[in-house]
Amino acid sequence: MTTANQSIKPVTAKINQDEHIEIGGCDLVSLAEKYGTPLYVFDEETIRTIARQYKTAFSSYPKISMLYASKAFMTKAIVRILDEEGFGFDMVSGGEIYTAHTAGADMKKCLFNGNNKSYDELQMAVELGVGLISVDNFLELALLNNVAKSNNKTIDILLRVTPGIECHTHEYIQTGHLDSKFGFDLTQVDEAIELILEQYDNLNLVGLHAHIGSQIFETSVYYDEVEVLLKEISRIKEKFNIELTHINLGGGLGIKYVEEDCPPSINEIADKIITSVKENAAKYGVQEPEIHIEPGRSIIGTSGVTLYTVGSSKQVPKGKKYVAVDGGMADNPRPSLYQALYTAEVANRPNDKATETVTIAGRFCESGDILIHNAKMPELNEGDILCFYNTGAYGYSMSSNYNRVLKPAAVLVNNSQSDIIIDKESYEHLVSLDRIPDRLKKQL
Ligand code: LLP
């Protein structure tokens, strides 16, 4: 069975009777008219479908917890949907904790993670009752123990470790290899445990946490990751006579951005993980642990598309043809940052045959602001609406106000209804945090 991460388009995408692309029962051309472009559009049914596919895929394993990696895209509405689906949240900042809390997430199901959490953020996590904290380094062990003590609490923690597994993804989004800024090296785990057992009375170590990378297409790396963690748990049991009960495997499952991408299904990943847990728990003589997973991209990526309006074009004599759209690297930095590939279609005439190869350029003042190189498209005219698929993950969440361009709105579509989930910025918002020192104020 295929799962929704294996398709370029959201599950509800189709061509309607006006020969326009429609998602969630909403005509994309009408959405562009109503809300303006650029516009992020999120399909609720795709999010819920994938969330349920995750739950079904792991349903044979009794002790499983799903946390959504908020960094992929977090707003209060997304928290509501995934909270309803039974997910907790993997959070990496005070901002993500605040969003989860104010949107009514079940904080006991949440995890606070990150390589340089501040005292204030740890304090906030402890006060708001975040269920687990993944401790990344020695400084944080001491800080968190102080915070826990001053709140009169004992905090359940995981130790974030680097399992030494390399996967074939972009270097910037690999995290599990040995030379990484994240987590304890396996050779430092004993020292951390000694400190917890001997000095840090307000910390209760329950398990290990790792994340091996993002946009992963191999399933074997998950088998290996589980093995490394269970072997380590067995070693810890032997040496310290404590048995850790949780493993958190991070996120990473890939999605299909372009035809050539062949990510595995959620079921294939789940089967690999469960098989590895059973085989390696037996092999290393430890109990089968509670498994936590933290998918981000594969939950939200496929549900999101971005709409742009085509503006100017330029044919370089004897060179390329550039077609510019009204957004670019500020609403989607992934092409310029990671050479990420995307698929685009013309929302107002998706049936037109591709007749030319063009470079789709953004509007920002940098030559590198190119969204797609060598896109095969029908001849594009000013006013055409382009639909970029798979922009749901790490698009809005990494967006900026570069060139002081306003961040676009995001709408959620479902059953032919569209609702704003993030307002478009206004020029007033844009300058709202600016301050002019008195001595520079213009005398009127
Ligand atoms: N858990 C941990 C500890 C992580 O560091 C990450 C992602 C995830 C879970 C979620 O991984 P996912 O399922 O989304 O692959 N900005 C990059 C991706 C950076 C991912 C960082 N960590 C991009 O746009 O490709």
For residue range 243-271, list pLDDT tens digits in order: 999 999 999 999 999 999 999 999 999 99
DSSP, res 24: T
Q: Answer whether residue 178 shows pLDDT above 90.
A: no
Pairwise CA distance, residues 133 & 118, whole Å? 13
**Inside any domain, residue 399:** yes
Q: What is the pLDDT at residue 180?
A: 87
Same domain, 321 and 285: no
Same domain, 101 and 220: yes
* Whole-number average pLDDT of the chain: 96
State how beta strands 111-112 and 88-91 pair.
parallel
Pairwise CA distance, residues 295 & 254, whole Å? 10
Q: How much distance in Å is there from the Cα of 296 to the middle of ligand 1?
A: 6
DSSP track, 185-253: EGGGHHHHHHHHHHT-TTEEEEEEE---BSSB--SHHHHHHHHHHHHHHHHHHHHHS----EEE----B
Q: Other C-beta atoms within 10 Å of 152: how many? A: 7
Residue to mutate, 115, 170, 266, 297, ligand 1, most ligand atoms under 8 Å from C-beta: 297
Which single residue is written with the structure tokens 């709202």?
432
pLDDT more than 90, % of the chain: 95
Same domain, 325 and 253: no
Q: How much distance in Å is there from the Cα of 251 to the middle of ligand 1?
A: 6
Active site residue 110: no
**Inside any domain, residue 34:** yes
Q: The CATH number of the domain where 348 resides is what?
A: 2.40.37.10
Q: How much distance in Å is there from the Cα of 390 to the middle of ligand 1?
A: 15
State how beta strands 290-293 and 246-248 pair.
parallel
Same domain, 226 and 330: no
pLDDT 10s digits, 388-421:
999 999 999 999 999 999 999 999 999 999 999 9
Supply the range of the domain harboring residue 121: 44-300
Q: Answer whether residue 173 shows pLDDT above 60.
A: no
| pLDDT average, residue stretch 163-180 | 70
pLDDT more than 70, % of the chain: 98
Of 300, 324, 351, the residue that ends a domain is: 300
Residues in contact with 84: Cβ distance below 8 Å, sequence separation at least 6, in sequence order:
none
Candidate from 134-148, 162-176, 218-232, 367-381 with smallest mean pLDDT: 162-176
**Inside any domain, residue 444:** no
**Inside any domain, residue 435:** no
**What's the domain count of the chain?**
2
| pLDDT average, residue stretch 9-26 | 98
